[in-house]
Chains A and B, each alone.
Chain A
């Protein structure tokens, strides 16, 4: 197949491909956002002193982390409607499954971040009369968040890659559109090669961006080491 023919074919299917890319990006972002919220809640649940909160939170996190994304996807899409008694679209199933997967990892990431904060910070806050909620909100979580940024961004890359699986429940993402094009053109080699390149470029772009962002981490002297010993 000549490059020219390939180019023409891509152009012909440009709208389909673009819509697939859009669905992929949309899924990755929205499920990541939801996962951040759910992950934070699960994290606080797993840190709670109350068993009633802690046990289900830990169970949830472990379940999310220890089931394959494909299984989660199929389970959410085919089992939840029957369990819950109402239907939702494949897109919603995909979003839920991806969010589940990421929230498990993020909850662990958040917990590790919070636990990495020196106990002295908590004691200093307590000695200043701060309640648990206040010291978490103003002292511990902000510091932990800075440490969590690389982990969150890594999970975003993972989530982005995981989106390619949603085509199995007919969510029209980039992978799904590629399959449609192959069905119509009988040209699996060029189509899948191009799509693989597209994924590569997107994920690579995100990864590079992520690394750049990590380097730009909030700069309030926290990560900087003192260059010169200041006068006492």
Chain B
């Protein structure tokens, strides 16, 4: 798939290119040759049945999962994930450098994964201040501003246990945005939420999180995906079965499997 790969001059975010990606867990091949090119600032929605490898694909991009074959490159400076690890100009990066690589890629999990021993403010400050060594005062200001944008400014001193799922996920999004990521990865960000709480999170994703960033979002919210995505990828059994614009894939799917899946979701 290639979507907007020849990015517009002013496009923000980093392009992401995945080629011939294979991922195995032991003998089980979970990704069986994935190719994808996402232009800078574009949003790709990944859909597909349970176990098709959507989470695994997303987790390979920031090297939470090592890959066995193929390459994933993020950005223009030549950093590439390969079977050897994360490389730049042929050199395998150290663990510290891999951490730096991950710091440029925001990730939002289905289960929020806020740090329960830190307040909301602690959660969103720990990485920009501790990892990026940004000025704490400036980060508090920025954090409060972002919390304001997600309607949580009055929760800054609250611990995650006291927040609803929707609130926790909004904090998790702010936590990722505090790092100024060039790329955002979402793995079913609303699947763990009560239906009445998904709206508030989807709104934050659409209006705040994906603006000016390259985004890959795994979601079962097909209407939402249709709204925000530049392209939709339908995965099944470790392969991309169908890809195209949201209107093509969701509105007029060509493959039987895609049609069956969308039919079931509706």
Contacts and interface: CB of A to CB of B under 8 A. Distances in A.
A67 interface: no
A139 interface: yes
Contacts of B62: 126-127
Given A120-B111, A222-B161, A142 B102 contact: no
Contact of B175 (A120, A128, A222, A229): A128
A133 B230 CA distance: 39
Interface in B114-133: 114-117, 119, 126-127, 130-132
A143 to B, nearest CB: 5
Interface string A137-151: 011001100100000
A147 B185 CA distance: 31
A121 B115 CA distance: 7
A222 B117 contact: yes
Contacts of B197: 232
B177 to A, nearest CB: 11
Given A126-B64, A128-B103, A129-B102, A138 B130 contact: yes
Given A120-B113, A121-B113, A129-B102, A221 B127 contact: no
B167 A232 contact: yes
A143 B119 CA distance: 13
A126 B159 contact: no
Interface in B155-175: 158-164, 166-167, 172, 175
A224 interface: yes
A43 B196 CA distance: 44
B107 interface: yes
A135 B109 CA distance: 17
B50 interface: no
Contact of B127 (A120, A121, A130, A230): A130
Contacts of A221: 116, 158-162
Contact of A134 (B115, B130, B179): B130
A136 B43 CA distance: 33
A127 B131 CA distance: 11
Given A132-B95, A232-B197, A124 B113 contact: yes
Contacts of A124: 107, 109, 113-115, 172
B96 interface: yes
A222 B116 contact: yes
A115 interface: no
A116 to B, nearest CB: 13
A19 interface: no
A129 B127 contact: yes
Contacts of B162: 221, 224, 226, 230
B179 A129 contact: yes
B164 A232 contact: yes
Contacts of B200: 232
A126 B117 contact: no
Contact of A222 (B103, B159, B163): B159
Contacts of B196: 232
B100 interface: yes
Which 6 pairs, one residue from A and one from B, show the smallest C-beta to C-beta distance? A129-B103, A221-B159, A124-B113, A128-B127, A127-B107, A120-B113
8 contacts: A120-B109, A126-B64, A128-B126, A129-B132, A222-B116, A224-B161, A231-B164, A232-B164
